[in-house]
Structure 1
Amino acid sequence: MSMYEASLLTTDPKTGATHLDRLFTMPARSAAHVKARVEALGLSKTNSELLVYRF
């Protein structure tokens, strides 16, 4: 297992400014497991992109 970090990259539709919100760090077998966890917790937003990093 590796450690993964999940973040949301949100873009403001009015100004075009972007903001990175760090959600959590967790051990997982793949990025797909982390994405499924974010969706299960209801943390994803409509105007944002989910970024998952492995480290």
Structure 2
Amino acid sequence: ITGLVLTKLDGTAKGGIVVGITGRLGVPVKLIGIGEGVEDLRDFDPHAFVEALLAE
């Protein structure tokens, strides 16, 4: 496994799971899902993700 795709990250409580998963598995998150379909997958930007978590 070279990377993970995470979906359903629409809340801050769920968003914290990213840190736990990557720390435990030692595998980076490559894509995150921001909607319902494949077209809603986005490249994962860890800096933007942390900023969004802290802003809420």
**TM-score normalized by structure 1?**
0.28
- Which TM-score applies when normalising by structure 2? 0.28
Structure with the bigger RCO (C-alpha within 8 Å, sep 6+) is: 1
Which structure has the highest strand share of the two?
1
Structure having the larger proportion of residues in helix: 2
* Structure with larger Rg: 1
